[in-house]
Chain A
Amino acid sequence: MPKEYRTISEVAGPLMLVKGVDGVAYNELGEIELKSGERRRCRVLEIDGTNVLVQLFESGAGINLAESKIRFLGKQMELAVSEDMLGRVFDGLGRPIDGGPSIIPEKRVDVGGVPMNPAARRYPQEFIQTGVSAIDGLNTLVRGQKLPIFSASGLPHAELAAQIARQAKVRGTDEEFAVVFAAMGITFEESDYFVQSFRETGAIDRTVMFSNLANDPAIERIATPKMALTAAEYLAFDKGMHVLVILTDITNYADALREVSAARKEVPGRRGYPGYMYTDLASIYERAGRQEGKKGSITLIPILTMPEDDKTHPIPDLTGYITEGQIILSRELHRKGVVPPIDVLPSLSRLKDKGIGEGKTRADHSGTMNQLFSAYARGKDCKELMVILGEAALTDIDKLYAKFADEFEKQYVSQGSETDRSIEETLDIGWKLLSILPRSELRRISDEFLDKYYIEEK
């Protein structure tokens, strides 16, 4: 029977100070028992002599300094894992909330995770066809990649993430897959949208959900992504499944982190977020990947909303420095009615170069990709110029570029949230668009492919 302490001496926000404690370990899990018998969880954040600072995972309401008891459980936060988790719904701390029975664990795993030895990683290079041209053609996703969606309030990131989850496949394979979905501080409606979408495709039976909605305690969110990734690691590296993890919304997670940091009176970094936020986010994102000698993989799609559409805000900024690219949604395209409104120029997939080309997608992929990017960038410049000076100010060739940019948005990017395009369709649309421009402009594509695919004007 662990020792119980009645020496809680301070409660402030999500933090609590317990005095006269001995023998507790850093990061140990604790349990507070209220007068009413209700139990809440917490963890050790700092030990200074016999004073222990703990962080609550739930609200502090009702904690009475004199009557509440706390005991330390001699273990760190754990998640009971088993294959039965598929198809179930858990709260942000990993307790079942779908009315079903509790999980009979195959084992209990520390949710903190252990860093992966970089020498044991396997470089992700298997092309995932998402059926979305702006991703497949230009910002290709590969198995084991971490590719966030940078969105903003009012943009359809949920639709895009659901579309990817629905359509994603590695062609020519028929391996076991699973989806781990973690909702952090999003609304019921948004969460339900995902559930419905998984249900429609039947993926729901292969989905593990962790749900911390907007009305759940904010502080519980700190554990949610770790829960989700622990489940994903179990499914991927113990059970050999290919796991797609969707975390939404990282912004809410970061805000919870800031709350704890502020309560601890730490020296803040930018915009009040703690200085260690980079490390903290990295400890989540870096758990994606593939390992030597293991069949499964974890592909991670975190979603975050950029406050004020600002990409330099610390949350998107630090995320971009850790993840392997980003898919950025644009309000301008959204207003134009482009679905999905992916802004391809600032979007990027760092791992695309090893995932495309002969044997993976098609030999002409790399050259056309670069050409589409540079042509679209020039076309957008031309259009800007046209707005200021009128069409007459453009040279003939610039007019063609402007036309290209328009058609590109209409035909290539805007495909709707239901269309599932194969990579060949995507590449062919690319060639059709490039053929708007004279062949001599296409310097980034080698002659071999121009001969084969360029459509000469009749």
Chain B
Amino acid sequence: MNDAVITKISGPLVVASGMKNANMFDVVRVSEQNLLGEIIEMHEDRASIQVYEETSGLKTGEKVVSTGAPLSVELGPGLIGNIFDGIQRPLTEIMKRVGNSLTRGIDVPALDREKQWVFEPCVEEGERVYGGDVIGYVQETDVVRHKIMLAPGIGGIIKEITGGTCTVEDVVAIVLDEKGTEHGVGITQKWPVRVPRPYAKKLSPDSPLITGQRVVDSLFPIAKGGVAAIPGPFGSGKTVTQHQLAKWADADIVVYIGCGERGNEMTDVLNEFPELIDPHTGKSLMERTVLIANTSDMPVAAREASIYTGITIAEYFRDMGYNVALMADSTSRWAEALREMSGRLQEMPGEEGYPAYLGSRLAQFYERAGRVVSIGKNGREGTLSVIGAVSPAGGDISEPVSQATLRIVKVFWGLDSALAYKRHFPAINWLTSYSLYANSLGKWFNENVNAEWTSLRGKIIALLSEEAQLEEMVKLVGMDSLSPTDRLKMESARSIREDFLHQLAFHEVDTYTSSDKQYMMMKLVTEFYEKSLAEIEKGKDIEEIVKLPVREKIGRFKYTAEDKAKEEFDKIIAQLEDELKEKGGSN
């Protein structure tokens, strides 16, 4: 097999002959420089290889060696808090070894080989174990208790197991299978990225992923185990929204994939997350985060792999029984990488040059999300929620990537440049966005937050859509010709937009709102509408209602700290009633 040589080079695509014995999707080493690649097409003994590194300087006739294994990731302690490239090379470690630039052919193992972990076994010698069973724990960070699982496919009797300090290369247990073969088990396992990790059964999502973002939680919630898409033109705040979700979502583990995006955005996450405190655990956010970075200047073929690398890591934590949230920013860049390789393979293009299999690839990716029961004894229930950003060309979501995504996802947060220009953030358009989980999760909110939740949500959505219709009318006849009740609707809807939906990511209080406070805010804006409506029907002048001082209080309520919210809420409700009474009736 050593006679395999390069015969053609075209950008990241290399064709090699003499590859008869290689398998599809095997990882290969290209040339003396040991560039990593993956076989994506075979014709007789010629293999088309996508190379994950820059191919400048390669020559025909250079050797190609297959490793005989598919592209895999290493799963074990050391993932959390780390930043990897698209094929799971640790970027901080690479920086220590070769400096600030990413030179080619670097071979650094994904997980730190030196680091000592403390392994606590939880099974005993002689016990029967199956693939997926937890055999012990490693406390990876203050927050994450890493469950060491037996890799799927291995099972038998524990012959030996030792606790104590170990590295990722050490064998901590020996499992004797039915055939009498001994398997040495360490605290890590390998898994091919393109194969979804197995689970016992899939369940429907039933509880919300609380994000602390008002427009998301209150209006368009996403379930734990659900899938959502955020399409939007540039500058509409996709990345800030993704960052906000990565920061505040009540997941146990967050995997953030920066796929073909800006280098500085990853730096921002790297700088900011260690400093931020997770409201659910009180520890640094970095202690639950894994970053995958293939920035837009990094090789395009690795971009295609980065999505799979990320989701495999996410599935691994899901199998431990954790709630995992995965953010992919942006899936459009992944699709473009697919298109580039497809073009170089001279495949017949589908729409806009994208390959015909774009839709099915996207669907396969998103379908790896869900709420599942793991394999093994006492199946653990874990969820994997996927939130994908989409960057449609020109902001027009009729393009293939957006459309293929919308066919799969259950939650659509449509970003709107018109809102972004007004600096209404998050610029999620309340008229076009939807969540198919709204009804099922509404029940959860009614039971766990406040019984009024769904009715308040209904009122708010109704007011907002009425505002859109009234606005059309105002454009024709002017504000003055509206009836007092319609004026009140307009004013109330404005208050919903400005006082409730608008949320500043950079304000220390406003950046996260608990569900309880969200309920109070919804209550305030709807109370204002309903109480005022009653007064107007009694003949009160709308101009006076518009000028009530309490409205400024309602507007500032979002900046009230969580622990003072209830007290302030009661005060505002009382003030609202007073002011309406005081000036009401007689006028």
Contact = CB atoms under 8 A, between A and B. Distances in A.
Interface of A: 22-28, 45-50, 76, 112-124, 144, 237, 266-270, 275-276, 278-279, 282-283, 285-287, 289, 291-294, 311-314, 317-318, 320-322, 324-326, 345-346, 348, 350-351, 353-354, 366, 370, 373-374, 377-378, 385, 388-389, 392-395, 398, 440, 443, 446
Given A47-B9, A118-B267, A351-B264, 8 more contacts: A23-B60, A115-B101, A116-B295, A117-B91, A314-B393, A317-B233, A320-B234, A392-B478
Given A366-B506, A393-B479, A443-B552, A116 B102 contact: yes
Given A117-B100, A121-B267, A291-B100, A25 B393 contact: no
Contacts of B300: 276, 279
A122 B83 CA distance: 15
Contacts of B477: 389, 393
A25 B56 contact: yes
B326 interface: no
B289 to A, nearest CB: 14
Interface string B480-515: 100000000000000000110000101000000000
A269 B352 contact: yes
A321 B234 contact: yes
A123 B270 CA distance: 10
A320 B235 contact: yes
A112 B263 CA distance: 18
A25 B300 CA distance: 20
B178 interface: no
A46 B60 contact: no
Contacts of A112: 54, 56
Given A123-B271, A385-B478, A26 B57 contact: yes
B296 A279 contact: yes
Given A46-B9, A117-B91, A117-B95, A23 B59 contact: yes
Interface stretch (B73-81, B204-212, B316-324, B332-340): B332-340
Contacts of B260: 278-279, 282
Contacts of A268: 353
B510 to A, nearest CB: 11
Contacts of B504: 370
Given A278-B296, A312-B393, A28 B555 contact: no
A27 B56 contact: yes
20 contacts: A25-B57, A26-B55, A26-B57, A112-B56, A114-B54, A116-B100, A119-B94, A121-B263, A124-B264, A267-B343, A276-B11, A320-B235, A321-B234, A325-B235, A326-B235, A374-B423, A389-B478, A393-B478, A394-B478, A446-B559
Contact of A25 (B59, B99, B555): B59
Contact of A26 (B56, B297, B422): B56
Given A47-B8, A116-B101, A317-B234, A289 B263 contact: yes
A149 B480 CA distance: 41
B417 A346 contact: yes
Contact of A123 (B239, B267, B339, B476): B267
A311 B234 CA distance: 10
A118 B475 contact: no
A275 B83 contact: no
Give 9 nearest A-B pairs by CB, closest first. A393-B478, A312-B394, A282-B296, A286-B297, A320-B234, A27-B56, A120-B100, A377-B422, A114-B101
Nearest to B424: A374
A389 B481 CA distance: 12
B518 interface: no
Interface in B91-126: 91-92, 94-95, 99-103
B100 A292 contact: yes
B226 interface: no
A366 to B, nearest CB: 7
Contact of B263 (A118, A385, A392): A118
Contact of B57 (A28, A313, A314): A28
Contacts of B420: 348
B398 to A, nearest CB: 12
B152 interface: no
Interface string B289-322: 0000101111110000000000000000000000
A374 B353 contact: no
A395 B264 contact: no
Best-surrounded residue of A23, A314, A393 (most CB of chain B within 10 A) = A393
Contact of A324 (B92, B262, B395, B424): B262
A374 B556 contact: no
Contact of A119 (B60, B92, B235): B92
Nearest to A351: B264
Contacts of B95: 117, 119-120, 292
A120 B266 CA distance: 10
A275 B333 CA distance: 11
A289 B264 contact: yes
B478 to A, nearest CB: 3
A283 B300 CA distance: 11
Contact of A287 (B10, B83, B297): B297
A440 B333 CA distance: 45
Given A114-B102, A121-B264, A266-B343, A346 B235 contact: yes
Interface string B329-349: 000010010011001000001
Contacts of B352: 269-270
B340 A119 contact: no
B234 A324 contact: no
Nearest to B330: A321
Nearest to A52: B60
